Amino acid sequence: MNGTIAPHEYRVLERWLDATIVDVTAGQVYGNGGTQWALSNSGEQLNLSHASTTLDQTPLGAWVAGYNSTATRQTMERYSSRELGADPANWGTNLGYIKNGIDANGNVIEGTPGAQNSVSTLINKGQNITSDLALTNAEEHYVIATSTTVSASSTLAIASGVVVQFYNTGNWPPPELNILGTLHATGTPQNPVIFESFSEDNAGSIYFVGSAGATSTLSNVFLSNISGISIESGARVAMSDSALSNSGGIALSGGSSIAINNTHFASTTQEALALSGGSSAVLASSTIEHAGTYGYGSDAIGLYGASSLLMSSTTIRDLVRNGNGVDLYEGSRAEIADSIIENMPRDSGVSAYDSFVSIASSTIRNTVKDNGIALYNSTSTIANVVVENGKYAGIAVFDGTTTIKDSKVSGFGDAGVVISAGTIANTEIFNNTIGVDMPSVGVILQDVSLHDNGINFVVDGVPVP
């Protein structure tokens, strides 16, 4: 045979007639019906040559992969075009879930005629990664169908335009990428790195575990229809110019950290961000919308167990079901600045229990069935904040220490600020516009026993006796 093969072309060769594969057109038809043109089931060596130079060839001798029986036939496929074709270790058998084509008898072909080999989609031939590895877009896409681990001493680098798909076989372990070392996924706006499900079933997770590696980076990375991202045991991640949609969120635990910039979260099944065990997050210039699509619902951001959040120039909006915009528990801390939290259908924009909150130069609005801000035995500062339009109180304080200044509270069904507690210590409310467009008064005190601590409880500059 002779002819020309284009770069990156998958060429289908058919013997005698273009009818062996009924739905894929042959790139070349060769020979005739004579047996001398047929490939032997016992093995042959195929050569790709130019003039007298052999460019590539298959292993000599018996076929080193594939399966041939009257009941089941699977093709022999090459793992990598960048490794020697004559190496038997560079060949494998069709995976069974990546295939195309119908044969002349109407059977589904367990192969990929005219398309990327199924085995070439495997990262590192389906083995764990124990040395530095780079994925390029020379292959159309990669598939993870089981647990794949990057060792603590290794770095996995993923170039722009690479697509990684998670396939759920239904077997254990589920498809997951475990980063014990370092991951650098670096796309561009025109050619992002993509992580997605092979189908539409939220398959696949990315785990960053431990502090052995450097800070992993996700830049111009789009993630969709996956189970989520977990960052554990002191791992560090930086994420920028990226998107996470129709997936689980990002969960941090065990003192892990993430810095997120210019990233869009949309329709996460649970929290877009969930932090526990002293973890921390910096969130800037980003958007979270339609969080909590699964079941009862969830917060957009949840902090537990003395975790911390530094949030700036970010919008949280349009939760789907129950849940707060930002929810804090157990000594957690949040600093929120220059941000918008809006359209909470059932709960508050910000809610804190036994925690520490600072909200500055921000807007919280449209908490349809709850308070704008709810503080329970927490220490908080609210400055230059607009809180507007909700069912109960704009700001509800139950125990703790609170300073509210230079803010505007309007459009709530009950009152601008409700103070209801056994003991209020060092609480000030001054220089605000409170109680606009409300049926009730601006400030309501309920069952408050003032505890001075040297500083009076002050409302609009007037000490409460």
Q: 28 with 105, same domain?
A: yes
Asked whether residue 384 falls in the same domain as residue 326, the answer is yes
Domain boundary among 117, 136, 156: 117
- The one-letter code for the residue type at 148 is T
Query: Are 129 and 170 in the same domain?
Result: yes
Residue 135 C-alpha from the chain's centroid: 19
Q: Which of 117, 138, 165 is the last residue of a domain?
A: 117
Co-location of 238 and 377 in the same domain:
yes
Kindly state whether residues 282 and 404 are assigned to the same domain: yes
pLDDT interval class at 131 (50, 70, 90): very high
Task: Tell me: do 138 and 91 sit in the same domain.
Answer: no
The pLDDT of residue 462 is 47
Residues 346 and 325: beta-carbon distance below 8 Å: no
Tokens (6 digits) for 247 = 């997936």
DSSP 452: -
Q: What percent of the chain has pLDDT over 90?
A: 69
pTM of the model: 0.89
Q: Which of 178, 223, 169 is nearest to 196 (CA)?
A: 223
At residue 454, the pLDDT reads 37
pLDDT of the residue at 400: 84
All residues at 6 or more sequence positions from 415 whose CB lies less than 8 Å from its CB, including other chains: 393, 394, 435, 438, 440, 441, 442, 443, 444
Q: Is pLDDT above 60 for 430?
A: no
103-128: b (≥16 Cβ within 10 Å) or e = beeeeebbbbbbebbbbbbbbbebee
Q: Is 138 in the same domain as 229?
A: no
Domain boundary among 214, 249, 283: 214
* Residues contacting residue 89 through CB under 8 Å, at least 6 positions apart: none
Are residue 142 and residue 202 in the same domain, yes or no?
A: yes
Instruction: Specify the number of domains making up the chain.
Output: 3
Return the ∠ at Cα 378 (arms to 372 and 383), rounded to 5°.
Answer: 55
The pLDDT assigned to 452 comes to 34
Q: Distance (Å, rounded) from C-alpha 93 to C-alpha 79?
A: 10
Provide the residue range defining the domain that includes 292: 215-463
Same domain? 176 vs 230: no
Average pLDDT, the chain: 89
Q: CA nearest 108: which of 24, 223, 17?
A: 24
pLDDT for 431 beyond 70: no
**What is the mean predicted confidence (pLDDT) over 13-30?**
91
What is the tens place of the pLDDT at every residue in 376-429? 999 999 999 999 999 998 898 888 888 888 888 888 887 777 776 554 444 556
Torsion of CA 450, 452, 458, 459, to 10 degrees: 0
Give the Cα separation of 121 and 130 in Å (integer). 19
| Same-domain pairing of 413 and 277 | yes
354 and 322 assigned to the same domain: yes
Say whether both 49 and 177 belong to one domain.
no
CA distance 272 to 319: 11
**Per-residue pLDDT tens for 248-283?**
999 999 999 999 999 999 999 999 999 999 999 999
Q: What is the mean pLDDT of residues 163-174?
A: 89
- Do the beta carbons of residue 208 and residue 179 sit within 8 Å? yes
d(CA 128, CA 151): 8
